[in-house]
Amino acid sequence: MSTLASASPVLRTRPVGVGHWRAFLCVARHLNFRAAAEELALTQSAVSRQIQALEDEVGIALFLRHTRAVELTSAGAQLLRTVGPAVERMDAAVRQVRQTAGRKSVAITTWSSFASMWLIPRMEAFQQAHPDIDIRIDASDSHTDLDTADLDLALRYSAPGPRVHGGERLFGEQLAVVASPWLLKSAAPVRQSSDLEQFTLIEAGDAHRSTHLQWLSWRRWFDAQGCPLLQPQRWLYFNYAHQIVQAALAGQGLALARLPLVADALASGDLVEVLPGTRLDSPLAYWLLLGPRSRQRPEAQAFTAWLRQEAGATRRFLGEGSENADQA
């Protein structure tokens, strides 16, 4: 049997040092080894050795070296398109970390509707009182583990149970029918629940997919009012609470809204409560959970103190008797 004259080259899989990539980017930008060496504060021979080492690692030439010029090969151009933006993003991240090093900050995770409708409108008061504390809000519907994440506290929406174990109850929840005042002026007077048949009713699109969300459904409100067969003019569905309220503000229909999230809109008159005597209590509540590393940080303590104060105002709006938050 005959043997191959030469074996196929073995491809290397280990990562390439960042220093090699910086030399590559500099030479590719100048197309001149001397200019690259001056920018990197290295000798020309040191830059040449780094490029040669990079080519050995990659397994192919990245530059064509002419007598008076340097030219990228097709492989070099391909790497430049990918490596250049990656190194720029890395440098930007390092700059950001350096700028924030030593600054006081509080990182919060919560869901987007609560952030936009309750937390953010109140943030200016905290920022004025604590101008030296930076705030980072991570708005996500997924539950983050505070034991491992780079976060100080979580604001969650849940019935009492494992998901909020060890958490502090900020306030409860009631549901109320709300609408834009000008929408009500354009329709016949609403004196009883059956009068809602003349309107579009706005609801969460997935309100019937879980016990958790069924508490927020119009069907539950119909049952409580003794009109289970009521049918509105039409239905309008959205995925998020802030979308439902935005549609109500725009006069697109009546919403069965979470009172803690529309307190400001009701106080300003942008929304009006329809049939106030038909509010529904909910088993769901709003909770504060503190990360284990944040309990002793002064900035986290300042934020939670402010949060409890704001939660107390919401409890008073809801008519909750206790000023003291409960533990889950």
Q: Which run of H or of E encompasses 139?
A: strand 133-139
**Longest pairwise C-alpha distance within the chain:** 99
pLDDT band of residue 328 (cuts 50, 70, 90) is: low
Percentage of the chain exceeding pLDDT 90: 59
- Does the pLDDT at position 6 exceed 50? no
**83-96 tens-digit pLDDT:** 988 888 888 777 76
Cβ atoms of 175 and 256 closer than 8 Å = yes
Residue 3 confidence (pLDDT): 43
Give the integer Cα–Cα distance in Å for 233 and 211.
26
pLDDT band of residue 4 (cuts 50, 70, 90) is: very low
CA distances from 321 to 19, 170, 260, 314, 324 (A): 64, 13, 15, 12, 9
- Does the pLDDT at position 7 exceed 90? no
Give the integer Cα–Cα distance in Å for 321 and 254.
29
Query: What would the DSSP string read from start to end of 156-219?
Result: EEE-SSGGGTT-EEEEEEEEEEEE-HHHHHTS----SGGGGGGSEEEEETTTTSSHHHHTT-HH
Residue 323 confidence (pLDDT): 47
What the chain holds in terms of domains, given with CATH numbers, is: 18-100 (1.10.10.10), 104-323 (3.40.190.290)
Nearest Cα residue to 152 out of 285, 302, 25: 302
Tokens standing for residue 113: 């509707």
Residue 192 confidence (pLDDT): 93
Residue 242 confidence (pLDDT): 93
Average pLDDT over residues 23-51: 91
- Does the pLDDT at position 144 exceed 70? yes
- Does the pLDDT at position 210 exceed 70? no
Q: Which residue do the tokens 């705030």 mark?
A: 135
Cα dihedral across residues 84, 87, 93, 99: positive or negative: negative
- Does the pLDDT at position 12 exceed 80? no
Cβ atoms of 241 and 111 closer than 8 Å = no
- Does the pLDDT at position 98 exceed 50? yes
pLDDT band of residue 322 (cuts 50, 70, 90) is: low
Residue 89 confidence (pLDDT): 85
Residue 157 confidence (pLDDT): 92
- Does the pLDDT at position 97 exceed 90? no
Torsion of CA 31, 37, 39, 42, to 10 degrees: 160
Q: Which run of H or of E encompasses 109?
A: strand 104-110
**156-169 tens-digit pLDDT:** 998 888 888 889 99
**103-140 tens-digit pLDDT:** 788 999 999 999 999 999 999 999 999 999 999 999 88
User: Parallel, antiparallel, or unpaired: how do β-strands 104-110 and 133-139 relate?
Assistant: parallel
Helices then strands, counting H and E runs in the chain, come out as 12, 11
Residue 88 confidence (pLDDT): 84
Q: What is the radius of gyration, based on Cα positions, of the chain?
A: 30
Indicate the SS3 state at residue 63: strand
More confident residue, 323 or 185: 185
- Average confidence score pLDDT of the chain: 87
